[in-house]
């Protein structure tokens, strides 16, 4: 269960409105690696955690913080949109600055949202749960979380480079610092799990059931040999259970498939002389 | 540029048709972490790589292999659908096995695809590029790749548990082994980059520009203290640049936001007595 | 900013697992009118509210409650999935009950989520922000909110009819009661706004600018006259500014449009003898 | 069954082309609350109506009118795109007006549609049936319809503010008037149903089956007390069956959930010492 | 502008309810090549047609007929859902037929639509405008239309094979006949345009501007030579302007690309020793 | 199985960067009819082909070529983005050219992709498998393929008109030529199949089972008679099995539908006096 307080977790106040930047900032609110993604991803992972209370707590605490970041960004975007102009864009083009603002805005910020933030990314794609996952395997999920914080901090840093507004920069520098923490945090949790299990997810599948003979081969299926000298092509494997081998010219191991004709009730292409195939099964 | 040979990279032949399992197997073909996702993700990352030929080669070689996995899964699914029954499902229900087959199939396998594989997941959602990313930052992307192989191997292992068909198991055990390699491989590449840079992505943003004072605080925003004793709440941070601190009761640092009224041309809610706000900027 | 406590807002514990019902229950978690929709819709409306603190508080308080409902449903679904069987579905079909369970489950609950809840609806469509809106006009938005609670309660009631599990029914009867409150609440807020403004949204657009002559005509464009005797076809209009008029045979008021040929650089259909149109502008 | 006449329901002719406004106008053609949404929503509601011929007729008549609005908007957009320039945008930028036009257009209007209207919104998201609903409960659906007309009229009014073209304004003022009618009309139909049933949807669920003790409580889960004095927090409830109560500090009523460990065949996180939980069921 | 009559274009009445078939029949209502797709596709193509009144009329007439097919299918689906059971599916599984019905239904037909048709396909994906196009080039679009009728008739035929209900078969045999007409019709219109223009779309692009030397080469990029003896690999080209040539071993004509390093403000992967590339431009 | 070589199939090098054109060029990479669509569509069609090795080879060879086109476009787009500016757009607007570049770019090219290509279209919609199909009926699918090449070449030609960069034009003129080949090729394959079968897909459905009496009627459901003199309204039908007939005033052949009331457990609209319908079945 949740409680809300009206104060923001950190300041979210620009020096001046900037509806063009409002559009761009949507990326880390409602984009693939934005705050809605991490908030819901961590919460779902937490709610689904079965029996590891330490990790459940970690997930729910961090997911709850991300909700505060959603709020900060929504607030900042609404303020960047303060009194954003609307009006005839072609006429406005005569004043290059007004024209640029009208041309650079997301038109839905005015038409749909009345100068408010939206759960969309920087080109207007609505947020979708296709972005996130909660698999029940914490090592798999913490890797997804570390990834999300890596991509998210990268995007925040790029946005930092795109503005000259000290208020926006102040907020971004705070969010970037939290992303630093969250990368450190998932990294720490991953180390803990990798030590207990193994680096290969899931660690519980008996290795005897996989085709061990291809489990450490590097197949170079793209011309050139630049990748030959990478760590992945020689030496003991990272999981300590094999030896990397470089295969310069990987050959197919399977046959050329021949599929059975479709039954007539499918009305696939009519075969005038359907081949007399040996029975497949 | 690509070349195709007709032989499969590995066998993809079930012992007998099983249209219900065909539906499930779609998950690792066209789902969030299926083979289409990794194929296109690695290829786009490779094509966008600027100046690191070793990594570019690694990405393109692996992406090219994943195309072969897409082909293997598509072939296996088409064979699992061989002569799949259609027909009146209510009538069929009188024979529990036929009824179960009709009820458990993806109806689009018959109606839309004529007993062929589709670029969709196990519940029929079409594959979408929202699943993937190529950020230009290789550490961020290799983490996404390690994640994809972790989630993907987990799903393949679960599917392995769901079938008794030795042909399907044979193919899955081969794919699972390749996922073992690919987890090892991205892990190796990540280690290399983390050594050169730092574990925090992106490593090139000057730390002086982030709010260092909150970069290592663990905020416990969910009741209980189970997460207090985790590695993320004490000791030196994983990036070696700070000290984890546990904050039991994080307080808001920002103010309660008050937004400006909207301009009249937005036709937001009419305020009979609009408050006389101090100018916001 | 948000705080989380581990206790649930209300109990969410079934008498026994039921993975089939888990699939259905997803509708009110991650469907069009599910709890994710109302939580994010109310929060975004609240964050975007400009200057009406009473309504902002109402929106944020209710949105925060809906987050607790998301948590309850996620917990219930995870429990309904406890020890859900996987395995060869065709084999299982020999036991009708196990067969029915395997056939009726969402396969992603096992393959993707490891027996956890997902942010999807009852057929597996991922939640999308296309479902929601925050327009900046509170009367428009409160109507959307009343709608969402109406559709949501309807779906919860239908789900109540579909289960015999007293634990599930207990939780649903509690959620249904909260939907009763929320319908009442948005209704109250709507009445307040309609009294101050007018029932037509937005009330601030000067009526002299709309074509008053068609603002109260009921056009019966479908054969038959069943709708003629409705309240909407006679008597004073609901906004008190006009008189409903029934038009049995509405005629077109516009001309037959003739579009200009496309410029050659568009490579639309080639017109051998492009008509010599009078200039259109 | 439908018949089409070539004349438009009302004029749809701009004074001059304006490809930038064409992009914006797409919102009320193919956006969440655009004309495609209302047309298909009303028609599906009508086709699904079981036994209320008066309402069925109302729905089908109005849905049929909305098809004419789709046509008007498509025609207007095609004309706004007449002879829209294409060409090198960077070169064009030297002429600010041409540059603004090229920069402000939806590039798909030229590349994909050959200067025609598209079933998309103002940022190019394709129309999706996720926007609409037909629930079988007319009160729930009429509320959705009133909402759609409210949001739709709001957007049309905002677009009216964004153009100086008298032809466009003429068409919009006509559409705005029809939205006035349609808001009045659904309002009238809602009043009729609310009188017969009750304001709470669905009215047929026995109130004794819901948890009456929480059906009229207002939970203030967001800091501050601004919402305390609203109508929703005191006095008789709007449905006449309860009394609103303001709860300042809502407490959780449920327990802290503890989920069962996952079965081994799920390969969720390995628990070295799985807790000996009391059996959950 | 449109008019609606209440009579259906053709009968849509099943012999008995069949909620499982209702789910399947959704494919040709709301799927990729269903009736919503063709209705909106033809109407948008018609509305966007610039100056070819004969084709505009053809498109609008046919699009209007497709609306009637949407109505027929919606009506049929609602009737197939008459009194569809809901209830505890595991309990129901004891009666194999009831269990099969519950297991084979789309749960949204009950939970969301109250036993009505939905604008979705046979697995529940909402209809999306991504399915359709109106390009402004009639030959390109008529080919899309012929395709849609081909895929649509194929699906209708497959559905015909899946039912034993004479009422459903009666309706399908009528729709299949209309698809026969529509395939014939677009075929006729295509022939007319191909005669006037050329078979290659668009015919207006000067052939001198394309690389004529590769315009008729068949590149066999997949092992084996089965395709060598096809019509496409020898003889005069179908457009009469070239000669097909079979190329057994197509070579790359481009160079190995080397991309420039990213500028530092992108924070892509840090290159410790960025290569001294020759200037690229 | 696939092999990759580093050389491009053809050159993909612009004369100078042009981030605005990069955005537009995305259409034929990741749009509805872009190279990802044709690559995956042809490959899936090939993998699903049952027993027609000549066509299977044709599909796989062409699908493999399209992968090379994806690579060329991705490379071209990355180069068009070389050193693309970021920065404060409002400030930049003072320099019209820099302002136009910033305003015309896809912001995700910088924020998300670090100046790399993305699997999206020209307005940023992610590629989706909803665009493509593999039906198992080769004539239906080859028509889809001819359509895709027609729409694709049209879009490439339009893009050719939009740039003055000779490097871009060089690549486009090569791709346009390949589209010429591919249109010719699918045309040839279609002719072959139409000769063997019939022009109506599927040819295997017994014509006696369709309602022959409406299989060749042209229904003019849109006012005016422009379409009366088309080939589709008179003369022998294109399939040689009927005679086109023009029907000026098509009448409904079905009855006005009356649906059964919903069962009470659906909680649809309450009918105070439910009509006593004759039993429907």
Q: What would the pLDDT profile of F29-69 be if each residue is shown by its tens digit?
A: 999 999 999 999 999 999 999 988 999 999 999 999 999 99
Q: Do B128 and F132 touch (CB under 8 A)?
A: no
Q: Are both D189 and D225 inside the same structural domain? A: no
Q: Is residue E274 scored above 70 in pLDDT?
A: no
Q: Are both E128 and E243 inside the same structural domain? A: no
Q: Are both D189 and D220 inside the same structural domain? A: no
Helices C138-161, C35-48: inter-axial angle, 10-degree rounding = 170
* B109 assigned to some structural domain: yes
- Name the residue of chain D whose CA is nearest to A8's CA: D223
CA C175 to chain centroid: 17
Statement: the pTM of the whole predicted model exceeds 0.80 = yes
Chain C residues whose CB is inside 8 A of the B272 CB are 196
Residue C279 has a pLDDT of: 47
* E57 assigned to some structural domain: yes
pLDDT digits (tens, 9 = 90+) for E199-233: 999 999 999 999 999 999 999 999 999 999 999 99
Higher pLDDT, D86 or F200: F200
Q: Do D12 and C257 touch (CB under 8 A)?
A: yes
Number of domains making up chain D: 2
Residue F91 has a pLDDT of: 79
Q: Are both D166 and D232 inside the same structural domain? A: no
Tell me the average pLDDT across A42-57: 95
Residue D272 has a pLDDT of: 64
* C254 assigned to some structural domain: no
Q: Is residue C280 scored above 80 in pLDDT?
A: no
Pairing between β-strand B2-4 and β-strand F2-4 as defined by DSSP bridges: antiparallel
pLDDT digits (tens, 9 = 90+) for C12-23: 999 999 999 999
CB proximity A255 to E under 8 Å: no
For chain C, the DSSP string reads -EEE-SS-SS----SS--HHHHHHHHHHHHSTTSHHHHHHHHHHHHHH--S-HHHHHHHHHHHHHHHHHHHHHHHHHHHHTTT---S-HHHHTTSHHHHHHHHHS-HHHHHTTSS---SB-TT-PBPBGGG----S-HHHHHHHHHHHHHHHHHHHHHHHHT---HHHHHHHHHHHHHHHHHHHHHHHHHHHHHHHS-SSSSTTS-GGGS-GGGTTEEE--BSS-GGGGSGGGSSB-TTSSSB-EEESSPPP-SPPP-PPPPPGGG--S--SS---PPP--
Query: E269: which DSSP letter?
Result: S
Q: Is residue A122 scored above 50 in pLDDT?
A: yes
Q: For chain A, what percent of residues have pLDDT higher than 70? A: 96
CB proximity D226 to B under 8 Å: no
- Taking all residues of chain A, what is their mean pLDDT, rounded to a whole number? 94
Q: Is residue B166 scored above 70 in pLDDT?
A: yes
Q: Is residue C271 scored above 80 in pLDDT?
A: no
Higher pLDDT, B258 or B103: B258
**Three-state SS at A21:** helix
pLDDT digits (tens, 9 = 90+) for F249-268: 999 999 999 999 999 999 99
Q: Do A259 and B210 touch (CB under 8 A)?
A: no
Alpha-carbon distance of E149 to B18, in angstroms, equals 31
Q: Are both A175 and A154 inside the same structural domain? A: yes
Alpha-carbon distance of B133 to B141, in angstroms, equals 7
pLDDT digits (tens, 9 = 90+) for E176-190: 999 999 999 999 999
Q: Are both E63 and E121 inside the same structural domain? A: yes
A57 is in an annotated binding site: yes
Q: Do D79 and C260 touch (CB under 8 A)?
A: yes
Residue D51 has a pLDDT of: 83
Nearest to A155 among F88, F96, F112 (CB): F112
Query: E226: which DSSP letter?
Result: G
For F84-137, the DSSP string reads ---S-HHHHTTSHHHHHHHHHS-HHHHHTTSS---SB-TT-PBPBGGG----S-
Q: For chain B, what percent of residues have pLDDT higher than 70? A: 96
Specify binding-site residues of C for Mn(2+).
Answer: 35, 66, 69, 149, 182
Q: Are both E226 and E148 inside the same structural domain? A: no
Q: Are both F178 and F214 inside the same structural domain? A: no
Residue A276 has a pLDDT of: 53
D66 is in an annotated binding site: yes
Q: Which domain holds residue C84?
A: 19-197
Q: Is residue B153 scored above 90 in pLDDT?
A: yes
Tell me the average pLDDT across B183-209: 97
Q: What is the distance in angstroms between the Cα of F255 and the nearest Cα belonging to chain A?
A: 32
- Taking all residues of chain B, what is their mean pLDDT, rounded to a whole number? 94
Which subunits count as partners of chain C given 3+ CB pairs below 8 Å? A, B, D, E, F
In terms of phi and psi (left: phi > 0; alpha: psi -120 to 50; beta: otherwise), the region of E53 is alpha
A272-281, C189-198, D150-159, E218-227: least confidently modelled range = A272-281
CB-based contact B232:A65 (threshold 8 Å): no
* B76 assigned to some structural domain: yes
F197, F216, F232: which is the final residue of a domain? Answer: F197
* D273 assigned to some structural domain: no
Q: Which residues contact D95 (CB under 8 A, 6 or more apart)?
A: none
Q: What is the distance in angstroms between the Cα of B2 and the nearest Cα belonging to chain C?
A: 32
Q: Are both B90 and B225 inside the same structural domain? A: no
Q: Do C88 and B222 touch (CB under 8 A)?
A: no
Q: Do F47 and B74 touch (CB under 8 A)?
A: yes
Return the residue matching tokens 């993320």. Answer: B232
Q: Is residue A205 scored above 60 in pLDDT?
A: yes
Chain A to chain C Cβ contacts (< 8 Å)? 150
* D96 assigned to some structural domain: yes
Alpha-carbon distance of F268 to F270, in angstroms, equals 6
**Structural tokens at position A239:** 């999981």
Tell me the average pLDDT across E31-48: 98
CB-based contact B65:A219 (threshold 8 Å): yes
Q: Are both E58 and E181 inside the same structural domain? A: yes
CB proximity A129 to D under 8 Å: no
E197, E222, E257: which is the final residue of a domain? Answer: E197
Beta bridge partners, F188, equal none
CB-based contact F107:D96 (threshold 8 Å): no
Nearest to B132 among F4, F7, F119 (CB): F119
CATH number at residue E158: 1.20.1260.10
Nearest to E271 among B4, B51, B102 (CB): B51
Residue D239 has a pLDDT of: 97
Residue F281 has a pLDDT of: 44
CB proximity F267 to C under 8 Å: yes
Q: Are both C151 and C241 inside the same structural domain? A: no
Q: Is residue F206 scored above 70 in pLDDT?
A: yes
Q: What is the distance in angstroms between the Cα of F198 and the nearest Cα belonging to chain E?
A: 11
Q: What angle do CA A147, A62, A205 make, to 5 degrees?
A: 55
CB proximity C21 to E under 8 Å: yes
Q: Are both C224 and C128 inside the same structural domain? A: no
Q: Is residue A274 scored above 70 in pLDDT?
A: no
* B10 assigned to some structural domain: no
10-residue stretch averages of pLDDT, chain D, 281 residues long: 98 96 98 98 98 94 98 98 87 78 92 98 98 98 98 98 97 98 98 96 97 97 95 97 96 96 92 55 44
Q: Which residues contact E256 (CB under 8 A, 6 or more apart)?
A: A224, F6, F7, F8
* A270 assigned to some structural domain: no
Residue B101 has a pLDDT of: 84
Residue A102 has a pLDDT of: 85
pLDDT digits (tens, 9 = 90+) for B3-39: 999 999 999 999 999 999 999 999 999 999 999 999 9
**Structural tokens at position A122:** 């920087």
CB proximity B126 to C under 8 Å: no
């Amino acid at each position: 269960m949740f409680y809300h307080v009206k104060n923001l977790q950190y300041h979210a106040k620009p020096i001046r409105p900037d509806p063009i930047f409002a559009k761009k900032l949507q990326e880390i609110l409602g984009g693939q690696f934005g705050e809605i993604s991490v908030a819901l991803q961590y919460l779902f992972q937490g709610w689904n955690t079965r029996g590891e209370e330490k990790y459940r707590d970690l997930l729910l605490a961090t997911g709850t913080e991300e909700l505060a970041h959603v709020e900060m960004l929504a607030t900042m975007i609404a303020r960047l949109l303060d009194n954003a102009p609307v009006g005839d864009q072609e006429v406005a083009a005569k004043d290059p600055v007004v024209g640029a603002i009208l041309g650079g805005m997301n038109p839905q910020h005015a038409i749909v949202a009345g100068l408010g933030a939206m759960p969309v990314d920087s080109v207007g794609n609505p947020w979708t749960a296709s972005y996130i996952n909660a698999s029940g395997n914490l090592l798999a999920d913490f890797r997804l979380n570390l990834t999300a914080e890596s991509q998210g901090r990268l995007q925040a840093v790029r946005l930092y480079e795109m503005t000259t507004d000290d208020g926006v920069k102040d907020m971004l520098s705070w969010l970037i610092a939290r992303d630093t923490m969250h990368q450190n945090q998932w990294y720490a949790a991953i180390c803990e799990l990798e030590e207990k299990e193994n680096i290969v997810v899931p660690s519980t599948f008996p290795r005897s059931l996989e085709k061990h003979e291809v489990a450490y081969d590097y197949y170079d299926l793209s011309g050139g040999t630049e990748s030959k000298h990478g760590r992945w092509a020689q030496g003991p494997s990272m999981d300590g259970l094999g030896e990397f081998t470089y295969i310069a010219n990987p050959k197919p191991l399977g046959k050329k498939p021949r599929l059975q004709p479709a039954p007539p009730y499918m009305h696939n292409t009519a075969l005038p002389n359907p081949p007399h195939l040996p029975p497949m099964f």
